[in-house]
Structure 1
């Protein structure tokens, strides 16, 4: 299966320009034989910097509103994962991603670990859907820092995990930049190897309002090999052929119960601290 990650420009909060940008990428994907395009977190509408007074509610869309907005993309034979801020029926806001395939929204995923100090609510479901015979799951940005989402998706049979990401929150010349870049490059490898899955990570790149995005888009196979990666200063497509099926289950790393003293101590860590 040929997949792509779109390393998009770091657009201003409130911009809807991404729809036209994605449309051009889908045309390029069709020419390259790509079947799935992963786009960044909040590519539709931009990511709010709440500490700077921006409110996610200002760009939040219901799924039906999003469906109408991205209607020009629905005719493409290339499936796409699109990040946006969702306004739920409960009036809560979520960092979400939809799988747009076969002319309509196939599924919606809500980020399960939205982070600290945010009005964005946490999702609760980790769906796996079949796309062109390939079991597909989704995570969003901060989710990759946690072991649980990828493990749950793998346990449900996912062979491929799309990871819309938005690193456009690092202050220019911040001392943590190199550390965050290293983790942006290595966490996908860790999750791929731990769970024998392929990860497709789509990030943003560029600077605005004193912040810099890290541009860590990449495609990582189940052995942790980086099949393709973006230049950290350039927009564009990252394309690779990936395994369309889940490999036979390898129990190593999943069988911690064989040493109950260790697995019990680990389980205790998952409780409140």
Structure 2
């Protein structure tokens, strides 16, 4: 067994900033980001794998940024998310890979359904 359930939110340092992590649908659980934010993070990193059936992916296409922006603003943190994109096995993912500032504004984004990388200055 490699992973086990925990009751905290690990925080690590990167160039003087406190960074927390939520994985994929953790952002759908308010307590998950609240726990990370309570640790005094500046940045929340969120790696995702939103490969969904077509109808569900279409429904969620614009929701991802709405949810992430709302959390960024509510907790005053940067959110850096990465996501898969493309189609596989009857499923699709639009992304989005992006950086959202503490005001909830998307400051950098890979265009939906494109492979790429974002670069943004986080302060």
Q: Does the alignment reach a TM-score above 0.5?
A: yes
Match of 2:26, SS state, is helix
Residue 160 of structure 1: which of 36, 43, 46 is its match?
43
Per-residue CA distance 1:168-216 (angstroms, 9 max, x = gap): 1x123x2x33321122121110110110000000001011111111211
* Preserved contact between residue 57 and residue 93 of structure 2 (Cα < 8 Å): no
2:17 maps to what in 1? 134
- Give the structure-2-normalised TM-score: 0.92
Say whether 1:207 aligns with 2:90.
no
Question: Pick from 144, 157, 168: which aligns with 2:27?
Answer: 144
Cα RMSD (Å) of the superposition? 1.4
Q: Deviations over 1:7-37 (max 9, x none)?
A: xxxxxxxxxxxxxxxxxxxxxxxxxxxxxxx
Give structure 2 stretches of 5+ with no counterpart.
none
Distance in 2 between the 1:201 and 1:216 partners?
8
1:234 maps to which residue?
114
How many residues of Structure 1 are paired with residues of Structure 2 in the alignment? 123
Q: Where has structure 1 moved over 4 Å in runs of 4 or more?
A: none
2:96 aligned with 1:216? yes
Consecutive unaligned residues of structure 1, counting only runs of 5 or more, are 1-86, 89-93, 95-120, 244-273
Larger radius of gyration: 1
Aligned partner of 1:171 in structure 2 is 53
